[in-house]
Amino acid sequence: MSVMIPSPQVVEMVGELGFDWVLIDCEHGGISLESVELMAMAAERAGLSAAGRPPCADPSAILALLDRGLHGIQVPHVGTAREAAAVVAAARFPPAGRRSLAVGTCAGGYGLRPRTTDRAAAQAREVVIAVQVEDAAAVEQAPDIARVAGVDVVFVGPSDLSASMGHPGDTAHPDVLAALDRFCRQVQEAGAQAGTAGGLAALRHAEGLGVGYFYTHLPTLLQLGTQALDPAAFRAPAAPWH
């Protein structure tokens, strides 16, 4: 489930509804670092894995989210294997990467937990690294990106992909679906997990492709819930001031 609004309560509800994980979207959403930390705490309380999408692939943006205690990172606008390798370096502690180790953060238990070396080793093993390709040109690089050591998921944004192919917003266009099919097959053949997003139709299509990293958006969930109800049954009589 992707959440773009700063709300720990929504994150807890996502966990109570039985979702596996939540993506805290700081690229398109209006979420501050303070809210990210509170939302990460809410995810922990709900038994929910939490990943974050930074606004860009800058190492400082990646570090800022991981220091808030997130379990994974989904970095947008990664178009080459070289850029993917830079993301891995920013998300991993030395010697595997160049991530700065600060013990006084939420991720570090505020420096109150023993054995910092054990914590660093555990985070090096457990942090999921997803890189996001955005357009048709980057999709062609997907196999090389998937082979980069440390990349767990290569994700394609269906909306940006459709726009780059001349079908903005038409994620069900045959050309877009064909590109998505090719992308998922090549990524998985290269040894990484393929990822994408969308509604129910996209979910069914992704399941058929063997995609294991998939999310929908909070407004989509609300819309589906509304469509399942009869709005007239919940319509109150007109208020006296109408």
Active-site amino acid positions: 28
Distance between CA atoms of residues 37 and 182, nearest Å: 37
Asked if residue 208 lies in contact with residue 188, where contact means CB atoms within 8 angstroms, the answer is no
Residue 236 neighbours by CB distance under 10 Å: 5
Give the DSSP letter string of 99-136. Answer: ----TTSTTTGGGTSS-HHHHHHHHHHH-EEEEEE-SH
Q: What is the amino acid identity at position 193?
A: Q
Residues 49/71, Cβ–Cβ less than 8 Å:
yes
